[in-house]
Amino acid sequence: MKTFDEQLQHLVVEALMEDVGDGDHSTLSCIPAEKNGKAVLKIKQDGILAGVSVAEKIFQLVEPTCNFITYKRDGEAMVLGEKAFEVEASIHTILKCERLVLNCMQRMSGIATLTHEYVEKIKGYHTQLLDTRKTTPNFRLLEKEAVKIGGGTNHRFGLYDMIMLKDNHIDYAGGLEQAINKAYHYITSTKPSLKIEVETRSMEDVRKVCAIGRTKVFRIMLDNFAPEQIVEALKIIDGHFETEASGGINLDTIESFAATGVDYVSVGGLIHQAKSLDLSLKAVVI
């Protein structure tokens, strides 16, 4: 598995190739290649800042000798009018990187800000906040990083790092018992490091998993259970499995789920409902 920096480099190279193509002709047409400049990242909306370290890596990948000065760090509260960073580099580098840096930081800051709102709602409870795989194709790396910056916890990154037996897997496999047994045989013979999570849709499903999955399953997902149903399910589970509540949970309802004592609450909306925040990269004319 590639490291975060290796994955980020791949993302940046592909994104710049998509944007620049055979040349940044706007810049090439009017700015001498040897001319250097300075730009400042201006904050235009309150929230939680995310993506400063990513911006630094983008500029350094394009121009390793650039001078990047950080004023605010990832995870800090940001206020309209503040500066996040300054960069001194070739003007060609600044203009080539500008849109990619802003796209990443605006999106990441929006996700981190929304995640922080959710985390604040369940502060003081045992429950942890999880994200999901409901991400933008080829941008999952930074969306999930933004969740962490906002105080959330990453669920599995993809299909490869955990077995999650959801409704369609269970139905196609012929039922809960068949799905669990087949998955357990698969990991023992193929990849023992994988853990198995099972989605349950009813109290009967919960009882079945407790009966047949004690040594095979590590987490039970309680999908679309109301808080009072989760309380009942947790009594059946009796601490033998990790537990996760999922399905339609939002800012208005998350505290009622955390109050049940469930271990995790997953919210797809952390990413797919987040709104990008307003930032701008402005030239400093000397």
Given the residues 98, 143, 197, 223, the one annotated as active site: 223
Say if residues 78 and 71 touch (Cβ distance below 8 Å).
no
Could you confirm whether 83 is annotated as catalytic?
Answer: no
Q: 197-222 in b/e burial notation, b at 16+ Cβ within 10 A?
A: bbbbbeeebbebbbebbeebbebbbb
User: Is 166 one of the annotated active-site residues of the chain?
Assistant: yes
Q: Say whether pLDDT at 156 is over 70.
A: yes
Q: What is the mean pLDDT of the chain?
A: 97
Is the per-residue pLDDT at 3 higher than 80? yes
Q: Please, what are the domains in the chain? A: 4-118+275-284 (3.90.1170.20), 120-272 (3.20.20.70)
Determine which one of 38, 42, 83, 99 is catalytic. 99
pLDDT above 70: percentage of residues in the chain: 100
Q: List pLDDT tens digits, range 66-93.
A: 999 999 999 999 999 999 999 999 999 9
Which range is least confidently modeled, 43-47, 85-89, 281-285? 281-285
Local confidence band at 285 (pLDDT 50, 70, 90 cut-offs)? confident
The catalytic residue among 38, 72, 83, 134 is 134
β-pair type (83-90, 67-70):
antiparallel
Residue 99 designated active-site: yes
Which residue among 88, 199, 205, 263 is the active-site one? Answer: 199
- Residue 197's pLDDT is what? 98
Catalytic residue flag (residue 86): no
Q: In this structure, are residues 110 and 269 in contact, taking their beta carbons and an 8 Å threshold? A: no
The answer to whether residue 286 scores a pLDDT higher than 70 is: no
Q: Is the pLDDT of residue 174 over 70?
A: yes
Catalytic residue among 166, 195, 207, 275: 166
Q: What is the mean pLDDT of residues 153-164?
A: 96
What is the SS3 assignment for 179? helix
- Say how far apart CA 51 and CA 58 lie, in whole Å: 10
Give the integer Cα–Cα distance in Å for 239 and 189. Answer: 28
What is the mean pLDDT of the segment spanning 179-194?
Answer: 96
